[in-house]
Chain A
Amino acid sequence: MKIKDIIELLDAENLTPELDLEQELHSACGSDMMSDVLAYVKDQAVLLTGLNNPQVIRTADMMDMLCVVYVRGKRPDALSLKIANEKGICVLTTERALFTCCGILYDNGLRGA
């Protein structure tokens, strides 16, 4: 799956239009607790979350993730977007809920840790 496929599948809006949407992704995780995300490194490329503060992007950066999806219409603040652009982490936002997003992506081949 590519980031551009996630945009389509989740009806998501891309908030970092300058970044590459062609990178291949195989694994994802969904959580609002960042230490839980940090506990299981398995080359996850995508983080889905309802949490909205700069630590979300920091966590994704520490994990070498490529894409963060904010669910339920959350929109990250300017600092989050600035860090994401610097680090090359693609940021998407979707109106759908976390459980629904995870289900759709799993159905289409993404796997968890």
Chain B
Amino acid sequence: MEPIKFNYTVPGDDFTRAGEASADLKNKLKKMGITGAPVRNISIALYEGEINLAIHAGGGEITALVYPEKVELFLDDNGPGIADINLALQEGYSSATDEVRSLGFGAGMGLPNMKKYADEFHIESQVGEGTHIKMVVNL
């Protein structure tokens, strides 16, 4: 069966708009009759990714594919990339500036949270090229 597809562009210059895509997808899933823990897991994992696009990557693209049994989430950016992915995945590791911290982010919990709330988590990153993340949440 063909999945239902949603696309979002996350701006890199307006932090107040970060989270719009996650909120919209959450709404759409609810309207499709998908509820409970999977929706919350999708929402939190995508929101963390969306915030990362806004604060670390200068913006990016989100694609969500909704299948009857799972939702696939793709986050793609052409930002600075991540030099040491294993380090970035550790709880508490953050390169965030004081400015980002003053906005309530930079605890170094985003990628670990995404890994925790998604059933599958894949990340590829190249310094100077960008970062690509795929997450799968089973329904």
Contact = CB atoms under 8 A, between A and B. Distances in A.
A62 B43 contact: yes
Contact of A63 (B19, B40, B103, B107): B40
A105 interface: no
A67 B46 CA distance: 22
Contacts of A41: 40, 44
A54 B105 contact: no
Contact of A61 (B18, B26, B51, B110): B26
A35 B113 contact: yes
Contacts of A55: 15, 18-19, 51, 103-105
Given A51-B104, A55-B105, A62-B40, A35 B48 contact: yes
A107 interface: no
B106 to A, nearest CB: 8
B110 A35 contact: yes
A14 interface: no
A33 B92 CA distance: 12
Interface in B76-108: 103-108
Interface residues of B, number: 24
Interface string A27-70: 00000111110110100000001010111101101111000000
A93 B113 CA distance: 29
Nearest to B50: A58
Nearest to A51: B104
A63 B109 contact: no
A1 interface: no
A56 B109 CA distance: 16
A56 to B, nearest CB: 7
Interface of B: 15-16, 18-19, 22-23, 26, 40, 43-44, 47-48, 51, 103-110, 112-113, 116
7 shortest interchain CB distances as A-B pairs: A58-B19, A35-B109, A35-B107, A51-B104, A62-B43, A33-B107, A34-B104
